[in-house]
Amino acid sequence: MRSPFTTVEPYGIKVILLDRDCKIPPETEAMLQALYSRSHQSVLERIQEISDDYERARNFMRKFYIGYGHKSIGDCASLTLFVEGASILAVKAIQDWRLFSGQESSTRYIDFSTQKIAVPHDIDEKTKRKMQEIQEKLRQFYLSAVPEIREHLRKLFPRKKDEDKNTYERAIKARGFDIARGFLPAGMTTKTSWHMNLRQFADELLVLRHYPLDEVRQLAESAYKLLSKEYPDSFPSKRYKHTEEYYEKLMKDYYFKSSDLLSDLSSDHRFEVVSESINYSLVKRYQKLLSARPKKTEFHHFLAEVGSLQFEFLLDYGSFRDIQRHRALVQRMPILTPEFGFHPWYIENLPSGLQQKAKELIDWVTKEYEALKVSAEAKQYMLPMGFLVPCRITGDIKALTYFVELRLSRFVHPTLVEIASKVAEELTKRLKKYGFKLHIDKTPHRFDVRRGLQTILLKNQ
């Protein structure tokens, strides 16, 4: 019989790897870890007791889990949910969690023309039909624009003799999606994986079941029921009234309220440092660490004690989706409205023959938005992702440096490159004299055919 574990013993220290084939449920694996705090017994002995019997493993969990009394046990095991057919708005809600891990369908690499488009379920039928009409016009523009954009790009960036044709075409296609994605409505459906530990799933679903969007509330309730059926000890049915009321009020009164975010701005792309808390005596102490850091090397997390910077800026919703993936940054979720205008980059990079049509389409969508008598939260589903939203991010030096070095690149969407460049300027202005330096792309706006290599293919392709 195959052993349920593998061990190595450097200098007499046992390092043990559990075999995934031994069918130990995540909760039981978490409990095996937690028992280290209550007993000197080796995990090798405990695992032998349960590795051959799935039901015994579940009973083992029930025997020990309840009396342990610590939420931290849920940190010791993880699982993955796969979410398909949710709107981009709903997926952003799922990902608005600092310990979220997962992958989402990319509007920069995948054709979204055939995806279904969601509308809120909790609005009247007449409003639904109007939203669907608006969404469909945006889809039709996307459909007609994509081939024209690609042909336009081939003329702007003709293939060089030494460039592989397939790689070149993938790069052209990706650049075309960069432009066209600004016209996709936020109600477009997508897919995401959702990987976290048991504790984080329970904590996040508690918040999401009070989310301002009905789609997200229903998704959260369904996910909790699914997990509760499979892992009843980690996802109990009991709820606490005062906790539920607290999150209900938080989501209603604070979550999408952007009146305190750039409320005095117009669509002038204003970018501002609104808060700084840097301890420069500590920065000076770490001067050698700042100056000696090589390329592709992150700062150690203890440098977070140096302090942080807070930025406010306008960014299109499409690129907000990219910056939101930086979990180390504290971010506010913006509400998508036409208030700050449509990012001009998406129109300026269209073929000249499409630019006027695009302007007329955006003007029409804005007027229809204003005429609809439903909540601003619900109306997000009909708006294209090229509209500007107010963003606020707060980050320490480590988090901001990682963000800048990853996003200030020719492979990143140009509207996000613009923001990353400004963050880089502010960091450099404050820290350069202490040896701080950034390892960044010197030509971040250049078209690079190597972007066509950023794909996933079968080995024989």
Give me the pLDDT at residue 119, please. Answer: 96
Predicted confidence (pLDDT) at residue 9 exceeds the cutoff of 90: no
* 275 touches 394 (CB < 8 A): yes
Residue 248: pLDDT over 90: yes
Give dist(CA 357, CA 450) in Å, integer: 32
Yes or no: say if 419 and 323 are a contact pair by the CB < 8 Å rule.
yes
Residue 362 included in any domain: no
Mean pLDDT of 351-375: 97
Return the higher-pLDDT residue of 230 and 260: 230
Number of structural domains the chain divides into = 2
pLDDT band at 459 (very low <50, low <70, confident <90, very high): very low
| Mean pLDDT computed over every residue of the chain | 87
pTM: 0.87
pLDDT band at 399; cut points 50, 70, 90:
very high
Residue whose tokens read 């140096």: 306
Task: Give residue 8's pLDDT band: very low, low, confident or very high (50, 70, 90).
Answer: confident
**C-alpha to C-alpha distance for 433 and 300, rounded to whole angstroms:** 20
d(CA 97, CA 75): 15
Q: Which of 76, 100, 130 is the last residue of a domain?
A: 76
pLDDT, tens digit, for every residue of 369-389?
A: 999 999 999 999 999 999 999
Given a cut of 60, whether residue 67 has pLDDT beyond it is no
Residue 109 lies in a domain: no
> 112-145: per-residue pLDDT in tens?
988 999 999 999 999 999 999 999 999 999 999 9
Location of structure tokens 């949910």: 81
Q: Has residue 226 been placed in a domain?
A: no
Please report the pLDDT score of residue 447 as a whole number.
Answer: 56
448 found inside a domain = yes
Which residues, in sequence order, are bridge partners of residue 79? 196
Which tens digits make up the pLDDT trace of 301-327? 999 999 999 999 999 999 999 999 999
pLDDT above 50: residue 263: no
* Those residues with Cβ within 8 angstroms of residue 448's Cβ, 6 or more apart along the chain or in another chain: 171, 410, 411
What integer pLDDT is reported at residue 141 of this predicted model?
97
Predicted confidence at residue 259, as pLDDT, reads: 47
Segment 163-170 shows an average pLDDT of: 88
Residue 112 is assigned to a structural domain of this protein: no
* Cα(408)–Cα(440) distance, integer angstroms: 6
Domain membership of residue 182 (yes or no) is no
Question: What is the structure's pLDDT at 260?
Answer: 56
Residue 213, amino acid: L
Q: At what angle do helices 352-371 and 125-156 cross, to 10 degrees?
A: 160
Residue 461 has pLDDT above 60, yes or no: no
State whether residue 311 is helix, strand or coil.
Answer: strand
Answer with the one of 46, 76, 106 that is the final residue of a domain: 76
Instruction: Name the residue range of residue 19's domain.
Output: 5-76
CA–CA distance, 146 with 142 (Å, rounded to integer):
6
- The full length of the chain comes to 461
Distances (CA, A) of 400 to 69, 83, 428: 37, 30, 11
What was the pLDDT predicted at 231? 83
CA angle 251, 387, 407 (to 5 degrees): 90
Residue 165 lies in a domain: no
- What is the model's pLDDT at position 446? 61
Question: Comparing 230 with 396, which gets the higher pLDDT?
Answer: 396
Query: What confidence score (pLDDT) does residue 75 get?
Result: 76
- Average pLDDT for 61-68: 54
- What pLDDT score does 27 carry? 75
Tell whether 284 is covered by a domain: yes
Answer whether 309's CB lies under 8 Å from 272's CB.
no
Query: Which of the listed residues 52, 76, 100 is the one where a domain comes to its end?
Result: 76
Q: Return the CATH number at 408.
A: 3.30.1360.170
Determine which of 21-25, 76-80, 229-233, 392-396 has the lowest per-residue pLDDT on average: 21-25
Report residue 295 CA to chain centroid gap: 25
